[in-house]
A = this chain, B = another copy of it.
Amino acid sequence: MTTRPSADRAAPTLEAVAERAGVSRSTVSRVVNGSPKVTDEARAAVERAIAELGYAPNLAARSLASRRSHSIALVIPEATSRFFADPYFAAIVEGVADHLARSPYTLTLLVASETDPGRTARYLRGGGVDGALILSTHSDDRSYVELAGHLPIVFSGRPTVAHDENAVIVDIDNTSAARTATEYLIAHGRRRIATIAGPQDMAAGIDRLAGWLDAIVSAGLDPGPIEVGDFTPEAGAAALTRLLERGEAFDGLFAASAQMANAALVELGRRGIAVPRDVSVIAIDNDRFAEEAQPPLTTMEQPTTEQGAKIAEMLVRLIEGRPVERKTIMATRLIERASV
């Protein structure tokens, strides 16, 4: 059984409303856009005509004439599948969507096409959106940095490449969060601290590794072994295995993401290594992976949903020409559970 699209009769135009209300198109436009310079009578007549006709303004025409689309893009890097499975990204999107729902802006999800990288840039420069949100990504984010000259852009997480002085960035202090986490391990008597670091081509990965090292060196200790993962549970399990295979003992472990820590905890348990008795574990991210870990994970919370709302807020301000801070650092805090 098949069907074809219904032939819809032409939608009523602003001109039709004007005729019906007995006013000019300008007046209709003013009413639709909430201008105060309209008499109550005129406004009433227009509103009635709009209701009777079921008029809805044509967005493309409005956008063409006003040079504003009232829409912003959220650029999704790389594979979509990994994106939505990651509670970090889900929370960011939630914060963005939620903030925009209370604004006149609409959210466009732009999946960066691997097959045609130029497509995203072309879209962004075609005026389809008034600005774009770029999520922290791998070091190939140069093209986005360059886009900042063409339209308002806000980065969530600092780009790894050199960026314009005018770039607007919202981030947490990854170095400081990692340092605090590691210091917590040290304060609990741990002396030989390993780390499962994040990808070293992303700012969050690099900075968290630096924070771990800084805490250790500042305490006069020697760094434990380092293995790198890509923030996912699979990578965490693999990294822990490699850590153990190196045969270097450690009594503390700092993981750059809760997803990796959660999987590491599973591997430790499987090998009969008790947490926190034999090894204390701490990580960054207070998501479901931290909560559901066995034992529940002590971790640094980053306000992800709030960060999503913040980047949306910043972008809207940028678009509307209001002053914005160039760099916003969201606060993190320690959540004590049972893994240290």
Question: B-contacting residues of A (Cβ < 8 Å)?
Answer: 1-6, 8, 11, 54, 56-61, 63-64, 69, 71, 76, 80-81, 83-85, 90-91, 93-94, 97-98, 100-102, 106-111, 113, 115, 121-123, 125-128, 148-152, 166, 168, 292, 305, 318-319, 321, 323-327
**A107 to B129 Cα, complex, angstroms:** 12
The interface residues of chain B lying within 8 Å CB-to-CB of A56 are 121-122, 125-126
The interface residues of chain B lying within 8 Å CB-to-CB of A11 are 125, 127, 150
**A70 to B68 Cα, complex, angstroms:** 18
| B326 & A1 in contact (Cβ 8 Å cutoff) | yes
Contact among B81, B113, B126, B148 for A94, CB-based, below 8 A = B81
| A64 & B58 in contact (Cβ 8 Å cutoff) | yes
| B108 & A100 in contact (Cβ 8 Å cutoff) | no
**A124 to B80 Cα, complex, angstroms:** 25
**A151 to B325 Cα, complex, angstroms:** 42
**A122 to B53 Cα, complex, angstroms:** 13
Interface contacts beyond A57-B126, A58-B126, A85-B94: sample of 19 additional A-B pairs, CB < 8 Å, sorted by A: A1-B325, A1-B326, A1-B327, A4-B323, A5-B152, A5-B321, A6-B148, A8-B151, A11-B125, A56-B122, A59-B123, A60-B64, A60-B69, A61-B64, A81-B305, A83-B94, A98-B111, A106-B108, A107-B111
| A90 & B80 in contact (Cβ 8 Å cutoff) | no
Task: With both chains docked as a complex, state the minimum distance between the C-beta of A12 and any C-beta of chain B, in angstroms.
Answer: 10
Contact among B3, B57, B107, B149 for A108, CB-based, below 8 A = B107
Task: With both chains docked as a complex, state the minimum distance between the C-beta of A71 and any C-beta of chain B, in angstroms.
Answer: 7
**A164 to B323 Cα, complex, angstroms:** 49
Contact among B58, B109, B121, B128 for A59, CB-based, below 8 A = B128
The interface residues of chain B lying within 8 Å CB-to-CB of A80 are 94, 97-98, 101
Contact among B3, B71, B98 for A326, CB-based, below 8 A = B3
Residue of B nearest to A94 (CB): B84
The interface residues of chain B lying within 8 Å CB-to-CB of A324 are 2-3
The interface residues of chain B lying within 8 Å CB-to-CB of A63 are 60, 63
